[in-house]
Structure 1
Amino acid sequence: MATKILYIEDETHIRENTADLLRLHEYAVTTAANGREGISQAMLSPPDLILCDIRMPHLDGYQVLDTIREYRPLATVPFIFLSAKTDEIDVRRGMALGADDYLKKPFTLDSLLLAVESRLQRETLREADLQARVEVLRQTMTRVSNHEYNTPLGGILGFASLMMAHYDEFDREESLSMLAMIKACSLRLKRSLDNLRLMETLQQVKPGQTEYTFFTNGASRIDPDRVQQQIHTLNDRLDASISCQPEVESANIALSDHNLGIILDELLDNAHKFSRGPHPIQITGRQAGLNYQLTIANQGLPFKAEDVARIAPFVQFDRHQYEQQGSGVGLAIVKKLLDLNHGLLSIDSLPAGETSVAIILPLAR
């Protein structure tokens, strides 16, 4: 299939002559006499590359480029300016808006073909790199998801099958113990699915939407009772008794109780998951000027400082070294909620394995 080029030019003879020359070199060229027509054609039939003049009536080339880059299906289409307007400030303006190249009129056919071919080759390489990245992400998601979903599902099916096959052989205490394990596995599976849905919502949320208001408005009170409440919730979900030592000052923070609960749950769950030995999880909270800092520290697996920037769904750290549970979504949710509420996340880890996760949030006014 021939490469599709859209050429937007208001001067008829330049437009048609250039289009004919490109067609002779086996490009499928469509033309537009002005910016509005060019944008419409590009949206109706996305081209592989756009050539555009700058000085045009109604909409100039800069406005065309700005509109094209704002329209997601066309955001990465190679865009080349062809213009006699070649002041450095004009070139910089075009590049700042996302132009890929800039040819000065009059141009030779060879220079035009070279510019077109080089941009198309670069786009081919970009697409190949993107596909490779997508494939790596797909494989990672499959591996992580299989572990994260099949492990609790296997527990549910295993205990349920055991109870059905031997229901008259277990006493009440044994049955309750297995039911507790089924409940814990079910809650873990539900949490994994809920977090996926929440992360998808947080990644798409924008100002003006109802969801944006929900996740960015509100205030709550953090105090020892609120932290203990979240510890009890975590104990119930994990069917465990987590050792924690909270020393939390009471304060009103600019974060809804719903969001506070999510952040506490994810950070406490992570601290428990990566703890080693008998050391309890240390939870400290204090006011610091106009902000409130909450720190959760544990002894166990170290976390590299440079990994903070890599926090994202399905990103696991040192997977080759540690058999981790989790999909990486939890920390990504915490980071996104903090970003939405003017908060900060920092992680400090010593080689010996002491890791401190600190969040900083504004105090409620």
Structure 2
Amino acid sequence: MPKIVLIEDQLQLAENTKTILEINGFNCYVANRGQEGLDLIEHINPCLVVCDINLDEIDGYEILRQIRSNPRFVSLPFIFLTARADFVDKRRGMNAGADDFLTKPFNARDLVETIRARLEMSSQKNESVGIEIKKNAIDVFYHVSNHEYLTPLNGILNLSEISLDMVRNNQYKDIEPLLEGIYASGARMLRTTRKLLWYNQLSNMVNPWEKTLKSFNSKLNVPELLNEIIREVTKSSLKVLDINVKSHVSNLYGYQEDLIKIMFTELFQNAVNFADPSRKVFSEDRLENQMFVLIIRNNYFGKYTIKTDDIKPFFQAHNPKDMKGTGLGLYIVKEWVESINGEFEVNGEGQLFDVVIKIPLNV
């Protein structure tokens, strides 16, 4: 049965409305205060919300604003209850994202028909969104397959063929660079696959790193980790870059080493991919309010502005017409940082690009 959250501070009206909804086949959960209603929505994940405008502490407009700021509830059907539904009320409610209004007193028939209509519209909207998501996914997979899979796969096959011929002819002297090329191509395919799998989980409201949120008995040497990452990303790049590293933090505790290396590598890989090789790349880490702060700054070709809110799946400001990579790297890092109650920020202006992450010193 569809789940409805009803937020109404008049106890008798709330009880009567709950009875009407349950008789008509809905599961109704009641909150008599604004914050209680927000908590209930978060916990219940309802199909629809019916909310009085005039509540104490937090009114209906603020409840709606907070709901719409949560990506989980951007499209959640929301119906206002109000003792007066004049033009000003309706305009303010619609501007905030309300779907409909019911004026008190209302009859049972109007209530049920309005809810059913909104649920039907929501179902149709979700179906349309689902079709569009599938279409976009196909387009992206086509691009990724052609560039991020076929290119390294060709490298693996070609280098493997040459290596096999050399082994058959006992020519081992120059085989090491070929094996390194095979390894680099395989690692690239692994990074692409991992990001696509994580993106799929995030799209389905699943936290890919839930198991890593527990504290690990680990101690990471920050300078060693960063230097290792920089060696790897610069080795696989055709550019000759000057990277200036200032590390003021010795150790991080409680993090899964493989995961944090993946995330930091994404940040440095992004900087290397788009950096102007004639300018330095800067990296600095420090402690700030019990948080580990990592800042990476590079200069890039072209001029454009990019902010944190622009970081979305498959988006690249650097080269939007001819996407280089999957366009998922910074998005994945952003989601991971936020999943551990950290902060993520990017700022691109002119030719200067900054990425700043802040993560807890101990998970």
TM-score range, shorter chain: 0.5 to 0.7
Report deviation, 1:333.
Answer: 2.4
Distance 1:189 1:155, change over 3 A: same
Question: Which of 281-290 and 335-344 deviates more?
Answer: 281-290
Give the distance between the partners of 2:286 and 2:322, measured in 1 at CA: 33
Q: Does 1:64 align with 2:27?
A: yes
Q: Tell me what 1:49 maps to.
A: none
Cα distance, 1:56 vs. partner?
Answer: 1.8
Identity %, equivalent residues:
17
User: What's the CA shift string for 1:218-266, capped at 9, x where partnerless?
Assistant: 4745542232132234456669976422111024446615243222211
Preserved CA contact (<8 Å) 1:65 1:99: no
Q: What SS does the corresponding residue of 2:326 show, helix, strand or coil? A: coil
In structure 1, what is the equivalent of residue 144 of structure 2? 144
Letter aligned with residue 54 of structure 1:
T
Match of 1:105 in 2: 107
Q: Secondary structure at the match of 2:279?
A: coil
Q: Is residue 302–residue 355 contact of structure 1 (8 Å, CA) maintained in 2?
A: no
Where do 1:76-155 residues align within 5 Å? 98-99=77-78, 102=102, 104-105=106-107, 120=120, 123-124=123-124, 127-155=127-155
Q: Distance in 2 between matches of 1:235 and 1:87?
A: 57
Deviation at 1:296, TM superposition (A): 1.2
Superposed displacement of residue 121, structure 1: 5.7
- Change over 3 Å in CA distance of 1:39–1:347 after alignment to 2: closer
CA separation in 2, counterparts of 1:291 and 1:118? Answer: 44
Q: What is the DSSP-based 3-state SS (H/G/I as helix, E as strand, rest coil) of the residue aligned with 1:56? A: helix
Q: Equivalent residue for 2:226?
A: 227
Give the unaligned 5+ runs of structure 1: 1-37, 41-52
Q: Does the 8 A contact of 1:144 with 1:314 survive in 2?
A: no
Following superposition, the deviation at residue 166 of structure 1 comes to 7.7
Shift of 1:177: 2.8
Q: Give the superposition deviation at 1:114.
A: 9.0
User: How far, CA to CA, are the matches of 2:213 and 2:118 in structure 1?
Assistant: 45
Q: AA paired with 1:141? A: F
Alignment partners' CA distance in 1, 2:49 and 2:280: 61
1:65–1:273: structure 2 CA closer, same or farther, 3 Å change rule? farther
Question: In the alignment, what sits opposite 1:184?
Answer: 184
Q: 1:139 to 1:279 in 2, by over 3 A?
A: same
Give the Å deviation of 1:354. 2.4
Whole-angstrom CA distance in 2 between matches of 1:112 and 1:198? 40
Q: Deviations over 1:291-347 (max 9, x none)?
A: 3321112222469654522434433335444551x2133222211221122211112
Matching residue's letter, 1:152 = P
Superposed displacement of residue 285, structure 1: 1.5
Q: Secondary structure at the match of 1:355?
A: strand
Deviations 1:165-217 (A, max 9, x none): 687789655433333222211121122223334455565139xxxx6252353
In the alignment, the residues of structure 2 paired with residue 121 and residue 225 of structure 1 have an alpha-carbon distance, to the nearest angstrom, of 55
Residue type matched to 1:309 in 2? D
State the TM-score, normalizing by the size of structure 2: 0.63
Matched residue SS, 1:316: coil
Q: 1:39 to 1:321 in 2, by over 3 A?
A: closer
Say if 2:340 is the partner of 1:341.
yes
Q: Is the 8 A contact 2:275 2:298 kept in 1?
A: yes
SS at match of 1:204: coil
1:356 matched residue in structure 2? 354
Q: Is the 8 A contact 2:252 2:362 kept in 1?
A: yes
Q: 2:56 aligned with 1:54, yes or no? A: no
2:213 is aligned to: 215
CA contact (8 A) 2:348 2:354 kept: yes
Residues 157, 223 of structure 1: alpha-carbon distance in 2 compared, 3 angstrom cutoff? closer
Q: How does 1:252-291 map to 2 (within 5 A)?
A: 252-253=251-252, 256-258=255-257, 259-291=259-291
Judged with a 3 Å threshold, the aligned counterparts in structure 2 of structure 1 residues 255 and 239 are, in CA distance, closer, same or farther, namely farther
Alpha-carbon distance in 2 for matches of 1:291, 1:298? 23
Task: Decide whether the 8 Å contact of 2:77 with 2:118 is kept in 1.
Answer: no
1:328 corresponds to 2:291: no
Indicate conservation of the 8 Å contact 2:49/2:77, yes or no. no
Task: Identify if the C-alpha distance between structure 1 residues 191 and 242 changes in structure 2 by more than 3 Å, giving closer, same or farther.
Answer: farther
RMSD over equivalenced CA pairs, Å: 4.8
Aligned to 1:296: 296
Residue 205 of structure 1 corresponds to which residue in structure 2? 207
Deviations 1:21-50 (A, max 9, x none): xxxxxxxxxxxxxxxxx569xxxxxxxxxx
CA gap of 1:281–1:112, structure 2 versus 1, over 3 A, is: closer
Conservation of the 8 A alpha-carbon contact between 1:244 and 1:283:
yes
